[in-house]
Structure 1
């Protein structure tokens, strides 16, 4: 054995050649070394010397590999073609810096943050789409590195306040919004859209004020606190009949006949629904609500919904040609005011108490201490027709080329109120002019159309997020009532099961949420009744 020199019992290897420098490495080796550099450090590396600067500058393959090491492969989505990889990496680094706690001047960066977040969500994808499956029955979305990183980036309270809480209702809560903005300010719409995509409504008082301004009277603060902070201002927007305009087709759309989404209205609806879900204690009781309402950005992207593994559409089934993934079972939450409170709010609420000032059409109504009731329903629907839009070629099958019609039924879940909300339902799904997914539903009682709703699916076609919107009288009664609504898909249609009844596969995520697949042998089941529809479910519910 060779006799190597030692020092302190440690072997020393002596080489005759000088240690190899980083800049003397072959390009392939240097590429593999810099591949592991943090994106924020890549610019620092390029400033070290001329050789490294020359290597890093405009090195698209290196930027691409670093990007793909951290984020989803955008080639999996239609939005990911022909990218400037260096610019994409720069934007991601800037996003992380702007959203850091140390970055003080966040407000001017709202447009940039909005654009980059929307871009990252549009390019989100599952790492292995072909083998994507639910980790638990109630977890309806596939994992995404983009959404995980965005959730981490938005962990800081100051970041959420700066970018998610800047729409009109937040400005009003801060005493800065006396009159409506007509048309809405773009920055208000962008902030509201970010809040909707974030998916976890911000209800804490800390989201209104970092520090309580001296000009806010103590009695106003105590009233806001008593009204659950921003919820009171959201409520005033959601139930204001002036918001239900023919030019907005009575839905969450801008009142300019454009059909484009009014993100501020959706934000207010989302806050009202979240408050109702929390008051019913559903998040603590069931994983389906925690997954849908407490996971930032999760599922807020196209095709994020993961089907149940036991569904097999037939070759001639309409579901196979449906670009929206309509058929299946949904949970639905609707909220409403006592009609007396609703009427008084809209027709006897024309004076601002503190000033005696009359409320004009360009002013929001004063907040009032009213209670909101909520109902939880289960809805089962199936596709009845796929209609080709006029002017579209027969071979076009994308979501922008068709209108999908559906029918089904809804049942009030046991223990949440009277039975008169059960009904049959019909509707249609299509894209808005700005590319969002629009759902229209009509509820039918005893053969008579009674209620209608308009909603937008957060995240796009086949996303796992809610369809958020509002319900109203089908004849658009000018005296109401109206209210917020949200529903989201929990399971898929089995073509071998009766479309007019709930089956075990329909409600598996509800009665056996933490499992992965069918209820295992040996688990005791009980007969669950939802109105007159009999369902076999597990006793395990968390």
Structure 2
């Protein structure tokens, strides 16, 4: 029997079990086959797509409306499959993943789309059939399994993060795994590092935040200095973004290049702070919603505020901070902060609970837009050193709400000593509701001119896996 004489639904179902390359080869066998597998056959390409990736509707159905695609925008199953496979193929190749600026932008968009449409919770049908939601479930999502396969191709993904949009770069790792020892180092060496970074697309910064620390930023002083120059730059914050990692245009949208610098600095310092005793919940698998579960005794706590959080903070010596931010060009080159000593605070523990009684607190009001689809949560609690040092507990209060995008969660913490408000912490949970952690900037509550500033992070304790018996106590 001729396959092409089968009903289209049956033929499409058979072909959907083949790889996309095999489907294309089938289409080359004759004119009718070629017509059958055309991009217009959305039913065929939807089936092929769903054998590799999650159905995006599973994620969208659980997200607030601003985080869903607009009605009528459609979803091109063939086009989306093609873009995602092209990006994955490029990442798996030896060479730099984006030979042109346009390719880099498209690959970044495809990778972020895989992450943004990853299935993060069981569907209603699965729950009815006995599927139980699990904390940090990495087997529910086909998309996360795709990313797990990319662990063997970290060079390609990290080159996409660092090199997309940069002129004249064709970089791959040297024999020792260090991309800066590559036989094809940057050809634009006359450009400053910061000038080159300005040409990177914002999507590269966002992917970097969600991906976590890369090999390059762990081993190169230039990358380390570039992150510090972002995180400690007074000009990046002010009243118009409430001294947090938001764009300075009053929109409440995330400033991804700034958050990229913050995450790079504080993630390295968190690792030094815990000295290998705790694993940091960072990476693509922690950058989707619902990594931790709702407490069934507190169903209104959609952000899982209640409970224990672990984190730390970083700061420069004030003389170094002042010299960097007030440099005017008269006294030599501006400090690069590449090798400037940086201090890291101790591991801090927050114990928080919801508290609606503080909803009218002036310190907890914001003029920036937020997403109203979930209620603003107010909380209070205490902060103290995690182990070893016996010090008075420090009062903490704050709020959590959805950012205007409907995906990220905005956090504010007010830290008070002896009844006096001292520090304001403005943070973002970039992976979404109940994802890996909160990253942001601390500053003085009264925001004196030329006051200190620095990065901080907090992670849900249940996602911080301890490797030390002492820390389990």
Check whether TM > 0.5: yes
Give the CA deviation at 1:128: 3.1
The corresponding residue for 1:7 is: none
The corresponding residue for 1:194 is: 207
Alpha carbons 2:355, 2:379 under 8 Å: kept: yes
Alpha carbons 1:253, 1:262 under 8 Å: kept: yes
| 1:249 maps to which of 231, 242, 246 | 242
SS of 2:51's equivalent in the other structure is helix
Give the CA deviation at 1:40: 3.5
1:407 corresponds to 2:380: yes
Looking at structure 2, the residues matched to 470 and 351 of structure 1 have their Cα atoms a distance apart, in angstroms, of: 27
The corresponding residue for 2:64 is: none
Deviation string, structure 1 residues 331-373 (Cα, Å, up to 9, x no partner): 11211223444344445x55598xx35x5xxxx8564522332
SS of 2:160's equivalent in the other structure is helix
The corresponding residue for 2:296 is: 312
Give the CA deviation at 1:179: 6.7
Alpha carbons 2:84, 2:114 under 8 Å: kept: no
Closer, same or farther in 2 for the Cα pair 1:142/1:54, shift >3 Å?
closer
1:146 corresponds to 2:146: no
Looking at structure 1, the residues matched to 399 and 456 of structure 2 have their Cα atoms a distance apart, in angstroms, of: 16
The corresponding residue for 2:261 is: 268
Alpha carbons 2:96, 2:160 under 8 Å: kept: no
TM-score, normalised by the number of residues in structure 2: 0.77
Looking at structure 2, the residues matched to 168 and 334 of structure 1 have their Cα atoms a distance apart, in angstroms, of: 31
SS of 1:411's equivalent in the other structure is strand
The corresponding residue for 2:122 is: 128
The corresponding residue for 1:110 is: 104
Alpha carbons 2:293, 2:434 under 8 Å: kept: no
Closer, same or farther in 2 for the Cα pair 1:95/1:337, shift >3 Å?
same
Closer, same or farther in 2 for the Cα pair 1:452/1:540, shift >3 Å?
closer
The corresponding residue for 2:162 is: 165
Give the CA deviation at 1:439: 1.0
Closer, same or farther in 2 for the Cα pair 1:249/1:276, shift >3 Å?
same
Q: Whose radius of gyration is greater, 1 or 2?
A: 1
Deviation string, structure 1 residues 194-220 (Cα, Å, up to 9, x no partner): 10121x212436x9xxxxxxxxxxxxx
1:279 corresponds to 2:252: no
| 1:333 maps to which of 312, 337, 341 | 312
**1:345-364, aligned counterparts within 5 Å?**
345-347=324-326, 351=329, 356-357=332-333, 359=334
Looking at structure 2, the residues matched to 350 and 140 of structure 1 have their Cα atoms a distance apart, in angstroms, of: 51
Closer, same or farther in 2 for the Cα pair 1:345/1:297, shift >3 Å?
same
SS of 2:311's equivalent in the other structure is strand
Give the CA deviation at 1:513: 5.3
The corresponding residue for 1:119 is: 113
Task: Using the TM superposition, name which of 109-118 and 141-150 deviates more.
Answer: 141-150
More helix by share: 2
- Equivalent pairs counted in the alignment come to 425
Over the aligned positions, Cα root-mean-square deviation in angstroms equals: 3.8
Alpha carbons 1:236, 1:366 under 8 Å: kept: yes
1:258 corresponds to 2:270: no
Give the CA deviation at 1:186: 7.6
The corresponding residue for 1:72 is: 54
Deviation string, structure 1 residues 259-305 (Cα, Å, up to 9, x no partner): 221111111111111211232354x3234x2xx13xx4112123x32
Deviation string, structure 1 residues 385-424 (Cα, Å, up to 9, x no partner): 3979xxxxxxxxx853532221111121114x6836x411
Looking at structure 2, the residues matched to 167 and 266 of structure 1 have their Cα atoms a distance apart, in angstroms, of: 18
Looking at structure 2, the residues matched to 186 and 407 of structure 1 have their Cα atoms a distance apart, in angstroms, of: 42
Alpha carbons 1:236, 1:365 under 8 Å: kept: yes
